[in-house]
Structure 1
């Protein structure tokens, strides 16, 4: 892909000038105005704002960019909420202090009016080396506004010491009628979760659970919705129809809460960090979790050398995860758009450099493939298989998505994981709340 940056450099002077002006005009309708100041640093510097873990992913790319071009790339690291607030306020002001921003996929639609089109970077070859969901997500309206720099998905983590134990294998097959293995379906996952929920030390208290159930985060349930075969997660972004109360969403929620007997108590408050801790401490036989966690197992974890990873499980609609991608975007009001776009193209070309970082996440198919069979990257096969599954669908492209998550989806899940919850009534109420937000 040597020609990507040179081709972009040749065409951007004409194409971006017009498109960028249109984006600035659109943003001015939201209260923006005035001329953009020079971003932080001089002519031979670029400022990139990025969320915590993303700095490590981008640092080797920034270092190589300086070596090859002489341009210093300063990575400004901010907490997740702080990054959102800074980008939002500066795009609305029309005076961004940054040249490039790393954006969570769910922010792209909200920020799109203030972002420069990147259409000239998205050649056929580029699109062919990205998962379909990433290409779809990168586009807002008629233009691409972000280049994926890394992606993620939940996959299945399981205890190999438990699944490969000969007594467990014999007992499981005798009870369920088929061999014990990493589950691939809802039914197999529920069977394994039930089987491994037990009192291991004989004190009368369960100390090993088959799985967890997360009530304080929405993404795992959304993956279950896609596994149920639903094509329009929560709402149809094109028609505006809210779909959260249809049969597939209810089937997914019913399955999700059916796992509660095999999970620790306190599901309503369980989030990603809590789930990781339970698994790393040896309290879970399985968890569905973001693929990057494979490289983050603490050295003192009792399960450090007993972790297997497999594609996300599948329901009636098949295997499905939710892509968790981050994109590099350029502010339309920025003064260094040409240099900024050059860096975005460079980051795509050298995406494989991020594989050896702490998170070990990349975006290009070829970057994933480059680590095939390499020790420490066993999670890549599971990630690719999940990301390539036809039902792995992006979240709805709506500017109100974060509000929907915070004010409707998470509260609904937290109520759903309480004893005796009426899932149909909860989803009906959620539909009314979402309709009030999007209409």
Structure 2
């Protein structure tokens, strides 16, 4: 599922989303949401476009809204790339066929000129119940253009059967001088990754790795950049300065590639789906991954009931993750703005309904807190601790962010995870490429 992975390359997400295209086409033909004909936005109801994984999160809210107000809410699913392209073209034309859109956080700066202000929804009470990063990310040039409907972050996943094994505990402490437990620092993470990288069946080949290294996605490295203490990952959009070649980025990239000896080969092509499969198959002792995955372990996984979770690890700057939020927004040229804003406010007020969905993602602090003591929600405290960490900073608010990711960051990481990579030179080259994009 695309949303749950929080992948960032639109072309790559489109490949992952291929299975959703047929379903999306059926939904569009059924409700007329493709523009022209009997469009849902021409009726008394509300038409909400959403990425495939987001429909499950919004469905209970839409159902309750219809029950309480009598207003029908039609949720139209689209694959990630299709959603982006459709919203982009319709906002530019000033003729949206939707009344509300669920937007990836990284799209807000690009779409902001076509979105209606939501400042009146952001009371002090609302802001106090949202993580700081979500509040800042919702604003473009000082105007709120989206209300967070769910958020995510990478946290630490680890195998409790390995960590709680008495022999492993004794051997680790004897070798490293401290107790084996869920790591909190880079150094502990690397030690534990080294310790668990081994040949478990005696055939001379390593079959258990301490961790993975993902070269085909950028967000995990960006979290590492914040963990190194960087305040402006990749670039300072306000100052117009590219920061990717500074000391913090270098420290982060060096740590990132230092884990390669304790990870399976093929890092340059490893993405979220591949890493998740490795962990579920029992081939990794630890994984840094989006928090929703705790609720989605396959029933046939050999580690089904042996997964522990903890906050994301930290470097010299402390714990940090990258918030993976989605926002509800209203087109400025839409003809149902008041009704659309009413639905968005209702979605905020009933945000807790999304907790019991397949992804189990919410946005409000109170919604997380209402479930964190319940069985099956053990990932919530780890998510909250990570999202509340001062260094859990949003990605740069620039309309060119997607291009920077696809054409610079991922290619750089794929080169960095190859043997003998010159990380300083790669970062310097990346700076030049990004400067040419944002100039």
**TM beyond 0.5:** yes
Distance 1:305 1:106 in 2: 35
Alignment of 1:32-47 (within 5 A): 40-47=40-47
Q: Deviations over 1:385-421 (max 9, x none)?
A: 0000000000000000000000000000000000000
The answer to whether the 8 A contact 1:57-1:354 is kept is yes
- Partner of 2:4 in structure 1? none
- Deviation of 1:50 (Å): 0.4
- May I ask how many residue pairs the two structures share in their alignment? 404
The answer to whether the 8 A contact 2:41-2:99 is kept is no
- Partner of 1:332 in structure 2? 332
- Partner of 2:411 in structure 1? 411
- Partner of 2:111 in structure 1? 111
- Partner of 1:312 in structure 2? 312
Cα RMSD for the two superposed structures: 1.1
SS in 2 for 1:424: helix
The answer to whether the 8 A contact 1:242-1:435 is kept is yes
Q: Deviations over 1:62-112 (max 9, x none)?
A: 000000000010000011111101111111111000000000000000000
Alignment of 1:88-99 (within 5 A): 88-99=88-99
The answer to whether the 8 A contact 1:182-1:310 is kept is yes
The answer to whether the 8 A contact 2:41-2:97 is kept is no
> Tell me, which stretches of 5 or more residues in structure 1 are unaligned?
1-35
Q: Deviations over 1:294-323 (max 9, x none)?
A: 011000000000000000000000000000
SS in 1 for 2:426: helix
- Partner of 2:176 in structure 1? 176
- Partner of 2:19 in structure 1? none
SS in 2 for 1:303: coil
Q: Deviations over 1:135-155 (max 9, x none)?
A: 000001121000000000000
Deviation beyond 3 Å, 4+ runs, structure 1? 36-39
Q: Deviations over 1:278-307 (max 9, x none)?
A: 000000000000000001100000000000
- Partner of 2:81 in structure 1? 81
The answer to whether the 8 A contact 2:328-2:344 is kept is yes
- Deviation of 1:273 (Å): 0.2
Alignment of 1:197-346 (within 5 A): 197-346=197-346
| Counterparts in 2 of 1:350 and 1:54: CA distance versus 1, 3 Å | same
Q: Deviations over 1:171-191 (max 9, x none)?
A: 000000000000000000000
- Deviation of 1:355 (Å): 0.1
- Deviation of 1:42 (Å): 4.2
> Tell me, which stretches of 5 or more residues in structure 2 are unaligned?
1-35
- Partner of 1:194 in structure 2? 194
The answer to whether the 8 A contact 1:158-1:286 is kept is yes
TM-score by length of 1: 0.91
Distance 1:123 1:232 in 2: 27
SS in 2 for 1:47: strand
The answer to whether the 8 A contact 1:39-1:96 is kept is no
- Partner of 1:438 in structure 2? 438
SS in 1 for 2:235: coil
- Partner of 1:101 in structure 2? 101
- Deviation of 1:44 (Å): 2.3
The answer to whether the 8 A contact 1:38-1:97 is kept is no
Distance 2:192 2:350 in 1: 41
SS in 1 for 2:264: coil
SS in 2 for 1:373: coil
TM-score by length of 2: 0.91
Alignment of 1:374-413 (within 5 A): 374-413=374-413
The answer to whether the 8 A contact 1:37-1:97 is kept is no
